[in-house]
Structure 1
């Protein structure tokens, strides 16, 4: 198979929008997708494996790597650092993979600031309406009323940044949303700039 250049695919969405279901569909149906593995300072939980779920480092090592510019984005959450390794993403892009990054709008902004624009594609998954999002959150029956209200507030804050993304998929009908998300991936793989390695050998046959 002829190889195209890969890219980082950022997918962001408020909690309850169906992002996990949609990204799992991409991973299961599209070739050459690598899920980004974050680096963290928190300890490994039972069943988590180094290099599969996270890269585990201590706080001093993480802070040194921040100073060295090793992260495309990073944040401190509840006393632990989390970051996206620049080398990991670059290696997969050059190998022709799509690197899937499940991050919020703040992380997406950092990624865009720290990568070449042609190597980043971003998608915002939106709910069809606020009330439908709340119904979905309540339907999961996993959160208290306080948590649900907090998630709704967070959703409003995240939704205000929808226009910072390249594409918007409204997840009203799940089957349609899957088609639309896959269509973005396929179209972006066929961009002229990513097809150089594929086209050059073909051009030589016409010389």
Structure 2
């Protein structure tokens, strides 16, 4: 059943809120993976949908935990069979979400988190319009670059490309229901948890516009 931490204040004590699908997107380097892991650690009843990807596994990643790593042929086979809720080409690699995995978790009354990009979010909205969408932003362009460089996994050329693509990604922030600026990790997790409870009105995208425009300026 859905975690007690995420019960909305307007729901009776003996009545858990209906399971929902939450779509979380962000530019590379905004810290969404860390946010999601901390959120799930606080609320173990939430289910995180593990995506398929055709990219190579990084040294700190584990198949089945971080992603399901598949080859291009197998990925296209999943697409052709209609087994992917969404899919997108990002940094020359394909990513996709298992439709069956999401539907199973929802049927078992668990909130489900998708950690995908804005392209995938558009596709999910089209097929599951009741989903709640959340966009994560860095506090500044300079901080975004620092985080990408601190990873020490990419060359300067790749980092420059990621920065360009990140700025393009951030232009889609107003397509999302909520926006969270990840300048303080614990506070950002608190706000993300509040969004899942349905009581984070100050995170509504329309209310975040002045701050986000300042970040993008």
Normalising TM by the smaller chain, what interval? Answer: 0.7 to 0.9
Write the distance in 2 (CA, Å) between the matches of 1:166 and 1:111. Answer: 13
* Equivalent residues in 2 for 1:126-137, closer than 5 Å: 126-137=137-148
Count of residues in Structure 1 that have an aligned counterpart in Structure 2: 185
SS in 2 for 1:4: coil
Query: 1:123 aligned to 2:126?
Result: no
* Structure 2 residue 8 is matched with structure 1 residue 21: no
CA-CA distance at 1:66 after TM superposition = 3.2
1 CA distance for matches of 2:57 and 2:154?
Answer: 25
The two structures, once aligned, show a CA RMSD in angstroms of 3.1
User: Looking at CA atoms only, which structure, 1 or 2, has the larger radius of gyration?
Assistant: 1
- In structure 2, C-alpha distance between the alignment counterparts of 1:82 and 1:9, rounded to whole Å: 17
Return closer, same or farther for 1:175/1:37 CA change in 2, 3 Å cut-off: closer
Higher RCO (CA 8 Å, separation ≥ 6 residues): 1
1:110-144 CA distance string (max 9 Å, x none): 111111x22x1111111111122122323344432
TM-score by length of 1: 0.74
Structure 1 segments (4+ residues) deviating >6 Å:
41-47, 77-80
Specify the alignment match of 2:173 in structure 1.
162
Are the counterparts in 1 of residues 57 and 69 from structure 2 also a CA contact under 8 Å?
no
Q: Is the Cα–Cα contact under 8 Å of residues 20 and 106 in structure 2 kept in the other structure?
A: yes
Which runs of 5 or more structure 1 residues have no equivalent in the other structure?
189-207
Question: Which runs of 5 or more structure 2 residues have no equivalent in the other structure?
Answer: 1-13, 200-217
